[in-house]
Amino acid sequence: MILTTGQPFWLTEQGLVRYPTLTDDLSCDVVIIGGGITGAFLGYYLTRAGLRAVVLEGRYVGGGSTSASTAMCQYELDVDLIDLRDKLGTSRANDAYLANVYAVHELGRLCREELPDSCRFEDCRSFYLASRERDAAHLADEGEARRGIGIDVEYLERAELLRRYHLQAAAALRSGDTAQVDPYRLTHTLLAEAIKQGLRVFERSPVQHCAAEADGQAVTVHAGERRVRARHVVVCTGYEADNLVPRDLVNLHSTYVVISQPGEMATLPTGTAQIWETARPYLYTRTTADGRIMVGGRDEVVKNATFQNTVLEHKVEKLEKQFQDLFDQPTPFTRDFVWAGVYGETDDGLPYIGPHHDFPRTYFALGYGGNGTTYSLLAAEIIRDALTGRRHRYHDTFAFDRVGG
């Protein structure tokens, strides 16, 4: 599957970072299948825990969905808390939100204190806008539910939004616990640090299948003519490799993104705050370290890469108009890069993290939904703890049992 079209900003700006291909049979403790940001987090966390790990990427490391990610690091999920409680129960829904609050702050600690490069991590705030008048009451209830579990959120009505931020919406929730980062830079920084401690990373080494050995104590991963034998496998292939993941978990969508020239953020009345809305699909915005404005949305069910290319210009024009309609005054926006990417959406908006009974000695880190960066960090911690004899606080929150797996 083609995961990106157009010119993904992060990859175009920084260039392709290269890794060797797998040319020998290997053995290790854990094989990580997938070399995007999730595989990078896993490689970093597992190696630091003393496990001998190997990352296998079928194409180029960080060159798939990671390069097209907007890396909006929010605790807010695609399904509102009060709706998620109806789907999963109050306890699990609360934990899903609180897990992402934790992940945003842990990512900040990691980038600022542990890694040699902050990867342009920046704390910010977010506005969750009521797209229609009738959504205002829902947002008021949603804000009350979030505050009830200790989340920092403020309900703003139309007059205050206009007066303070020039935003045109019936109401909004203004939240903290939000951040943004350069996902491509973060991927390669995590891998570079882990390689120093023994992680081995190979690209252009696609995995065909995995086979548990007869004694049940190991798994052999088949990558072309090469074999990697390991005690465990972690699958973080995202939206590819159907033969490696449980079936019927996710619906695939295309999302479209346009980014401005540097420095245009300076005129934004909302500053560095991220913006999204109650409409589904929703418009979303963030800024970058060099003062660009990134606008995305116009999502739809995936058809094919040719279709994405055909409609990209039309989608971007719509996004630019929607962005201008957010404010009661013109906002400078000069197009620089445009692209489309693929993401997956589950029924409840949550990822799948952990083991599945149909796949022996295998863990999954499938960060579906709009919170891929925070889910990747959580998956790395949860799986690290499982493989080292501990139980993570959020071990059960994103498990397969919610769909009978």
61-70, 111-120, 195-204: which has the minimum mean pLDDT?
61-70
| Whole-angstrom distance, CA of residue 124 vs CA of residue 294 | 15
- Region of 95 please: left (phi>0), alpha (psi -120 to 50) or beta: alpha
Q: Please check whether residues 207 and 174 belong to one and the same domain.
A: no
pLDDT tens per residue across span 105-148: 999 999 999 999 999 999 999 999 999 999 999 999 999 999 99
Do 322 and 255 reside in the same domain of the chain? yes
The C-alpha atoms of residue 66 and residue 27 are separated, in whole angstroms, by 27
Q: What is the pLDDT of residues 87-106, one digit of tens each?
A: 999 999 999 999 999 999 99
Spatial CA neighbour of 102 closest among 393, 396, 404, 398: 393
Answer for the pair 372, 70: CB distance below 8 angstroms, yes or no.
no
Domain assignment present for residue 102? The answer is: no
Spatial separation of the C-alpha atoms in residues 186 and 210, rounded to whole Å: 28
Cis peptide preceding 281, ω within 30 of 0: yes
Which residues, including other chains, have CB under 8 Å from residue 173's CB and lie 6 or more apart?
A: 127, 128, 139, 142, 143, 146, 153, 154, 155, 156
Cα gap 122→108, rounded to integer Å: 8
What is the mean predicted confidence (pLDDT) over 302-313?
A: 62
Mean pLDDT (whole number) for 17-38 = 97
First-to-last CA distance in the chain?
A: 26
pLDDT at 1: 43
Q: How many folded domains does the chain comprise? A: 2
**239: nearest Cα among 253, 228, 255:** 253
228 and 292 in a single domain? The answer is no
CATH number, domain of 241, equals 3.50.50.60
Shared-domain flag, residues 65 and 211: yes
In a domain, 207, yes or no: yes
Residue 378 to residue 373: CA distance in whole angstroms: 9
- 152 and 255 housed in the same domain: yes
Shared-domain flag, residues 272 and 326: yes
In a domain, 96, yes or no: no
CA 177, CA 105: separation in Å to the nearest integer? 7
Report the amino acid identity of residue 109: R
CATH number at residue 159: 3.30.9.10
Domain boundary among 312, 328, 345: 345
**Do 164 and 257 have their domain in common?**
yes
> For residue 217, how many other CB atoms are within 10 A of its CB?
9
Do residue 255 and residue 132 come from a single domain?
yes
In a domain, 27, yes or no: yes
CA 66/CA 242 separation, integer angstroms: 19
Pairing of strands 226-235, 26-33: parallel
Q: What's the pLDDT score for residue 243?
A: 63
| Within-domain flag for 105 | no
Residue 83 lies in a domain: no
Q: What would the DSSP string read from start to end of 272-303? A: T-EEEESSSS--EEEE-TTS-EEEEEEEEE--
Mean predicted lDDT score pLDDT of the chain = 91
Q: What domain range is 171 assigned to?
A: 122-180+251-345
Task: Show the beta-strand stretches assigned E in 136-199.
Answer: 153-157, 171-180
If asked whether residues 129 and 269 sit together in one domain, one would say yes
Q: Please state, in angstroms and rounded to a whole number, the distance separating the CA atoms of residues 265 and 270.
A: 9
Same domain, 258 and 324: yes
Residue 316 in any domain: the answer is yes
Across-strand partners of 222?
209, 227
Clarify whether residues 210 and 159 are in a common domain: no
155 lies in a domain?
yes
Domain boundary among 317, 345, 373: 345
In the listed set 306, 329, 345, which residue is the last one of a domain according to the structure?
Answer: 345
If asked whether residues 61 and 163 sit together in one domain, one would say: no
Give the pLDDT score at 312: 82
- Asked if the model's pLDDT at residue 285 lies above 70, the reply is yes
